[in-house]
Every structure is written in structure tokens, then in C-alpha cells.
Chains A and B, each alone.
Chain A
């Protein structure tokens, strides 16, 4: 994990000695899977993301959380190379994200509303797409179909393989998209709010599946707004609201009030902190903010 370089701003009087922790041992990991460096991006003049630095190493399991409009989805687009940052750099597997085209290394599960679900297309045909980066213009071989069927089996959709995707419930459809990502046999799995509309039992099973994939060495990055699920499973939490508000191990995040800050005064009991510090932090650089949250995290632990 990488924390951004910290330069103490004059007004950041709360920055404590553990700001030095903010430059950890990232140099010992030679090739991060994802490497964002001081990324700034805006669809208009107002930046959606400001000075975001983030590195994810092979085998990590990181969750990006943040309120609506916090730039989570935009961050994902930059990570995946769908959008070019206005400033800063984004790299995937060591190559610039924008020009990275080895789709076989990335499995992507979109927000389920994105796809054309009115189309006459079966679950198996959807999952088949996961093999396209491997087969190019050729047809799928028997071995490819085996991978497809195994992926369908893994998400428990064998009974639905020949069903039209439009006939499925939201949760079943999401399983199909997860199977498509699995069929790609990727090194990196990127999921954009994968459990929206999925029933409770399936969510639990789904996270168990992610755990198992992660154990097998797959790098996982997901955007999630269900914090309970995130904190039960992810090793690392990145809390985003235009800038990185918190980036650290899940346990540290649990003890902190970074969540409340980033999400505004929506969590009971900490309105003061949210309205005072979060708005002030918005003007400071993201680096300072991140380290500030770390301070807050350790403070929270003591209480």
C-alpha cells in the first residue's frame, strides 16, 4: 500500500508525528497493479477528483467507499483507462491505463443498470463475453466453453444458463455479470457496486466468493456503499470524497470517524466533526487530508 507524500500545510496543526507513517514501504513492491499518482479530473471546471494517489499491489483486496458524487465511479474509470486524468498519471500493470489493452488481465463487473438487459441474450452468451479477450475474432473452443460453464456453476446459475438475461431478477443478473468477469480468468477484478439489488444471502455468499478468489491470488478492487460488507471482508479501505480521506487497513478504518467525515453529517453523533473539519479539509491538499484522517483514526482507537 502506498500513502501519498505528506507535506505539512501551515494550517494543519493537527498533523501528528504519525504523519511519517504516511510514506510506508511501497518501494519494496516493485510493480503495483494499479498506480494512480496525483490524479486530478473534472468533467467540468470543478474537479471530481483532486490530487488522488493510490497504489494497489498484486494480491490486495481493497474497497473504495464514499458518498454519492464522491468520485468513486470516476476513479474506477480512470483506473480502467476509460477516462484520462486532467493531471497526474494512471498506470495499470505498469503501463499507462489509457493505452493498456490487455483486456484478458482485467475482469470488470459493472453497475448492473449499465448493460442492455432488454436484449434477447442468454446468461451463457453474456458469460461467453468474458472469453472474448482470449479468443479475439475466433470462436470459443471447447476449453473456453468449459471455463464459461464453470464460471456459471461457480455463481450458482447453472439452472439459468439458457435464460434470457432480461427475465432474471437483479441479483441473478448480477451473478451473471460476476460469472462473466470470472470467465475472463483475470489477474485483477474490478467491481462497481456489485451487490446493488442482490438479496442478502447472496451478498454474503458473493463476498465469500471474493475472499476465495483473493486467497487464490487475485487482486480485487471494489466500489461499495454497503460498509458492513466491506469491513467484514476487504483488507484495505480507501475512503474517497474528491480526495482520499482515508486509506489504510480495515481495522483502522473501523476505529476512525473518516467515514462520517467523508459522508457528511449523516452519521449520528459526529455532526460537529463533519461540518467543521470536512469542509475545511476540502480546501487543503488531499495529502494532508489523508494523513489527518490517519491521526483521527488513531485518536478514535484510544477512545
Chain B
């Protein structure tokens, strides 16, 4: 069953390799050398993250939920620790990413349900969830210090070179699910984001869309963790969106600009990291922040130039 779903995605992956090899043939860039297929996969995963993180992040940022990505990333870290712990103690072969998804989704729904019960999203509860997740993860890992601490860096900071074909295919599937869900629910998500009360009046089940959004966030966070690492994964949800907000006039435009900024950060970041011999995730985030600064400056300049031409309001037609 799972093979049936993933088979076409493996074909996509093959096609991607072929495209990269063609690109290498054209440009001769060292980074695209066919002997580094792990980098091909890392680039593909980076591009997927560059689509879905700012897509979800746009709704989060404008709901003032920028912190939730951080909170979920740290609970996902606890999930990774749970997976590693269970594997070590009980001799299971469960993927730590799977336990990370489960734990992050539970945390996401917990945050959402707390906020529904108290009527506010408060950063205090998110800070508590964040700390709990990280503390729990660290504790579990310290209990297994012998075998586990070796591999933990890859979850904390991400690692471009450990990306297996299966990981790439899973992320590709995840990306399709997230994008398709947002495309279907875009009207409702927009209304709930902009004006929750009016959305509720218009018959939208606001709480369900909020739950959907946090669950999608949990998926994106865990998906992006492998490349970016726990500590920086939230940056891709927030930084490109913040940059796009400076430049965009319309909401549609802001999503498109955020995706473009994120993709630029991914591509430039991976290239810089490769040639500079640095870790990929942090460099991607630094590039994203650099792009944000450029966007903020451009946005300010744009405001100065356009604000003089205010149109007139017409009379209200009674």
C-alpha cells in the first residue's frame, strides 16, 4: 500500500536526479557533481520546505502565532528522543521522525485546545510547551548517553549529508499534502486569519480550521527538521513571511513573495554552506534573514515613493 503511494514519488526523485545531472552538464558546477546524489536530495527537500514553510507561516504570522513553530520544534525534539529511547531500550526499529510527528501533533492540539478553553493564544503556554519539550528530550537523551548523544547533533542542527532517498520521498509526499490542503481550505484559512469573529459569523467552524493549521504546522516542522534542525526550523516559517509582509500589497502576493524569498534562501544557503564547508541549516537561515533585511529596506523605500498619491473616496451611495 505504502509502496503504491510512494512509487510515483520515487519516479519524481529519479526525474529530479536526471534534471540535476543535466544542469551539471550545462554549468559544470562542482556542487552538482553526480557523485553527490545526497546533495541532489538535500536540494529537493530544501525546495519543498521553501514552499510549504512560508505557505503555512503566512497564516501563522498574521494570526500572531509566530512562536508556535518554535514550540512545536522543541516538542518534536522530545519526540525524536522518545523514538531513540524506545529503540535503544526496547530494541524497536521505529524512525525517530515518526515519533517526532506524533509528539508534535499532540503538542499542537494541546496548545490549540488550551487556547480554545482560555479564549486567547498566550505566549506563556507556548513557552511552557517549548521548555517542556526540550527538557524532556534532553533528559531522555542523557539517560542513554552512551549510544545516543553521538547522533543527536543531526536533529539539533540538521544535516544535508544524511538525507536518504526514503526521507526525500516522504518529504515530497508531505509537501503535496500540505499544499493541497491549503489550496482547498484557502478561503476559510484566510477568513479565520484575518477576522476570526466575522469568520465564525459567516458559518466557518473556526476551531476546526485552527486545529487544522496547527497540525499542518507540526507536519511542516518535523518535515523541515532534518535539513534545518530543531533550533532553526521555525525560522523558515517566520522570516520569509516577515520579509514578504514588507513588500506585498495583497495577500496572494505576500504568499508568493514569501515562497520566492524562502527558495532563494534555500538555494543560496546550500551553495554557500557547500563551498564554505559550513552546516547547511544555519546558513540557510542566515541568508533568509539577510533577504528579510533587504526586503525591509526595499519596503520602506517603496512606501516613501508611493504614499503621496492617495486617491479620493467617493460618496457612499445611499
Contacts and interface: CB of A to CB of B under 8 A. Distances in A.
Are chains A and B native binding partners rather than an unrelated pairing?
yes
A48 interface: no
A121 B194 contact: yes
Interface stretch (B4-12, B124-132, B200-208, B266-274): B200-208
B201 A157 contact: no
Interface in B52-69: 62-64
Contacts of A86: none
Interface residues of A, number: 51
B210 interface: no
A103 B203 contact: yes
B55 to A, nearest CB: 15
A110 B197 contact: yes
A164 B251 CA distance: 9
A158 B312 CA distance: 9
Interface string A23-52: 000000000000000000000000000000
Interface stretch (A202-210, A220-228, A277-285): A202-210
Nearest to A79: B201
A122 B249 contact: yes
B217 interface: no
Interface in A195-233: 202, 205-206, 208-209, 211-212
Contact of A129 (B195, B203, B311, B318): B195
Given A160-B311, A175-B313, A206-B316, A82 B198 contact: no
B316 A159 contact: no
A10 interface: no
Given A156-B317, A160-B311, A209-B317, A102 B195 contact: no
A172 B195 CA distance: 17
A108 interface: yes
Interface size class of B (residues with CB under 8 A): 35 or more
Nearest to A162: B249
Contacts of A268: none
B75 interface: no
A211 B318 CA distance: 7
Given A114-B195, A114-B197, A129-B194, A121 B314 contact: no
8 contacts: A103-B202, A104-B203, A115-B194, A137-B184, A137-B185, A137-B187, A153-B317, A202-B313
Given A110-B195, A110-B197, A132-B187, 6 more contacts: A80-B201, A115-B194, A125-B190, A133-B202, A156-B316, A202-B313
Interface of B: 62-64, 184-185, 187-188, 190-191, 193-195, 197-205, 244-245, 248-254, 307, 311-318
Interface of A: 80-82, 101-104, 106, 108, 110, 114-116, 118-122, 124-126, 129, 132-133, 135-137, 153-160, 162-164, 167, 172, 175, 180, 184, 190, 202, 205-206, 208-209, 211-212
Identify the 8 closest CB pairs spanning chains A and B, nearest first: A103-B203, A208-B318, A159-B311, A103-B202, A156-B314, A205-B316, A120-B248, A101-B203
